[in-house]
Amino acid sequence: MDRSLVARMREYLNAGLAMDVEALDVLYDPGFENIRVDEAGQVAILTKEQFMTRFRTLRDQGQRVGEDIDDVRFLATSEHGDQGTVVMHRVQHGVPIRYGFVWRREDGRWTTLLREFTFEKDISPLLRIMKSAETGTA
């Protein structure tokens, strides 16, 4: 287990808990994508811009993305060239969620988050929100 990669993940998770939008903006690579998949095989792809808009909206409304990261378990890390992967598990609202995060390494340190692969039970609500945003309906 690469402890420096796990430490970088903890920085990222804590920035999210603190709703530190400026730190998150630096942590997400300009080409960041979150690929979400559910048990039915539905897929949603979110960009950095979509993530940052959501974080800003939540922060401006005084909301947070979570209370703590006590349930987070880091299952594995791997390195491949100038990238590193972290496999993470957590339980949200009683439902287990699995993640794969891909980080960029530059000059020996983990710099930006390139990809987040999220495996959830059902992303139908997210797909409805995305469709509404595309069509401009509520």
CATH number of the domain at 9, please.
3.10.450.50
- Rounded to an integer, the average pLDDT of 53-66 is 81
96-105 pLDDT, tens digit per residue, is 889 999 999 9
At 67 the pLDDT is 74
Q: How many domains does the chain have?
A: 1
Tell me: pLDDT of 138 over 60: no
Strand stretches in the chain, DSSP E: 28-38, 43-47, 73-80, 83-92, 95-106, 109-120
Q: What is the pTM of this model?
A: 0.88
Asked whether residue 128 carries a pLDDT value surpassing 70, the answer given is yes
Per-residue pLDDT at 137 exceeds 70? no
Identify the domain containing residue 9 by its residue range: 3-135
pLDDT for position 81: 93
